Structure formats: structure tokens, C-alpha cells
């Protein structure tokens, strides 16, 4: 099978035509405030969306997700509420620290960070406990409406297999390439579609290449399909 040239329009259209999802597929989308989104993203680290959703639900019910409520909460109660997310001892400590910083430095509101230029806001977010490049980019794109592209394991895997990103690229190099490949107004949509495509079809193990709508544009998929 001949490999056809890939474009952002093709990726978006092909995946949009096939994939339908809602907020239940992405627990972080249920967040009502930037602080809640930050906590949701911390909880999502190194765990499944199902576990993230469960922890968020219990945290809302038992404590509430505001800086003030979390700061006042007993640490043991906090750990119990987020236990489903895994690494709950570490995450609970980080969440407590974040609540304190957000109250003392930002008056309880993270929104003011998004008023700054993209890279300045990104650096400031990454200075917070537990916040790395991916978490910062999620915050900036989802809550701040900033033009950046978060990369999780699914986005990384799919974009590398499609040749949008090189295997040797680190997070920052991959982020820049994805930002060049997709138009800024479609960053959020592309991010979500790539994640869902990675979950359903372009899986880490046993990818369903023969069923992939992007197979004719993917050398990885074509090579693997020939071996099966």
C-alpha cells in the first residue's frame, strides 16, 4: 500500500468522522475552575481516567475542590478521598501545598496567571509543586485558552507513528512540531482526538492498524499490517 501525504485537515476530518466522545471520556473536562482543573490533572498523573473520575467524585463529596476547603481538610481524609488515583500519599501532599500557594500568592484564583504571555504563564505554572510541562500545557489550553499542545502518552504514540513527530524528539521538540502541524484554533480538538484514537485504535500493544482510518497515511501501520 502506498503511503499518502498527511495533513492536519486529513487527521482532523478522518478522526472527527469516526470518533464521538463526551465529558465522561475526559474527567478533567468536568472541572469548573482552573484550580479544580489543576487538581484533576494532578490526580490523573500515572493512572487511568476511570480512577481519576472516581477520585474527583469522592473529593467533591467529602471535601470540595477549592483551595480553602482543601487547605482546611485533614490530610488523612484527603488521602482517603483520592486513594483511587494511586500514589495518593504523594498527591495529597502536593495538593495541600498547591492549595496553600494558590491562597497566599494568588488570592485563591489562578486566573491571573493566564493574563500573562504564553511562555511566561507556562514557566510560572511549572514552578508550582507537581506541575510539569504536560500539566502546565493542559492548564493553559483547557482553562486559559492559550495556544499550546499538551502531550500525554497517547498523543505521543499516535503522533510518532504517523510521522508528525520523530522518535528521538523530547517533550518540547514534539510540542513545537505538533503546534506547527495543527492550526492553533484546532489544538484542543486535535489533542482530544489523538488521545481517543490512541485509546481505541492506535494502542500501545496490539494496535488495530487494519481498522485505522489513517492507515493509508501511516508507514508504521502499513508495515505492521503486512506482518500480521
Pair 142, 28: CB distance under 8 Å: yes
Pair 154, 195: CB distance under 8 Å: yes
Evaluate the CA torsion angle 24, 56, 122, 114 in order and state its sign: positive
For the question of residue 166 being annotated catalytic, the response is: no
- Alpha-carbon dihedral angle through residues 158, 164, 167, 173, given to the nearest 10 degrees: -110
Residues 6+ apart with CB under 8 A from 202: 154, 157, 158, 161, 208, 209, 212
- Alpha-carbon dihedral angle through residues 3, 7, 13, 15, given to the nearest 10 degrees: 60
Longest dimension (CA), the chain: 61
DSSP string, 74-99: -HHHHHHHTGGGS-HHHHHHHHHHHH
For the question of residue 100 being annotated catalytic, the response is: no
On the 0-12 / 13-18 / 19+ scale of CB atoms within 10 A, 127 is: exposed
- Out of 152, 177, 189, 216, pick the active-site residue: 152
- Out of 134, 137, 146, 169, pick the active-site residue: 134
Catalytically annotated residues: 134, 152
Amino acid at each position: 500500500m502506498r503511503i499518502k501525504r498527511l495533513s492536519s485537515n486529513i487527521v482532523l476530518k478522518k478522526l472527527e468522522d469516526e470518533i464521538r466522545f463526551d465529558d465522561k471520556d475526559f474527567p478533567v473536562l468536568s472541572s469548573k475552575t482552573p484550580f479544580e482543573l489543576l487538581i484533576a490533572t494532578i490526580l490523573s498523573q500515572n493512572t487511568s481516567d476511570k480512577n481519576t473520575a472516581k477520585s474527583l467524585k469522592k473529593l467533591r463529596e467529602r471535601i470540595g475542590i477549592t483551595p480553602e476547603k482543601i487547605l482546611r481538610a485533614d490530610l488523612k481524609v484527603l488521602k482517603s478521598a483520592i486513594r483511587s488515583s494511586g500514589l495518593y500519599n504523594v498527591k495529597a501532599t502536593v495538593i495541600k501545598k498547591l492549595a496553600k500557594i494558590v491562597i497566599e500568592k494568588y488570592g485563591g484564583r489562578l486566573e491571573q496567571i493566564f493574563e500573562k504571555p504564553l511562555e511566561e504563564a507556562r514557566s510560572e505554572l511549572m514552578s508550582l509543586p507537581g506541575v510539569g510541562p504536560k500539566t502546565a500545557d493542559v492548564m493553559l489550553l483547557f482553562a486559559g485558552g492559550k495556544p499550546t499542545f499538551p502531550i500525554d502518552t497517547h498523543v505521543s504514540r499516535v503522533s510518532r507513528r504517523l510521522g508528525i513527530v520523530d522518535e528521538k524528539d523530547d517533550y518540547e521538540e514534539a510540542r513545537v512540531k505538533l503546534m506547527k502541524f495543527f492550526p492553533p484554533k484546532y489544538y484542543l480538538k486535535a489533542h482530544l482526538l489523538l488521545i481517543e484514537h490512541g485509546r481505541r485504535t492506535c494502542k500501545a500493544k496490539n494496535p488495530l492498524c487494519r481498522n485505522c482510518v489513517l492507515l493509508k497515511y501511516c508507514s508504521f501501520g502499513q508495515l505492521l499490517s503486512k506482518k500480521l
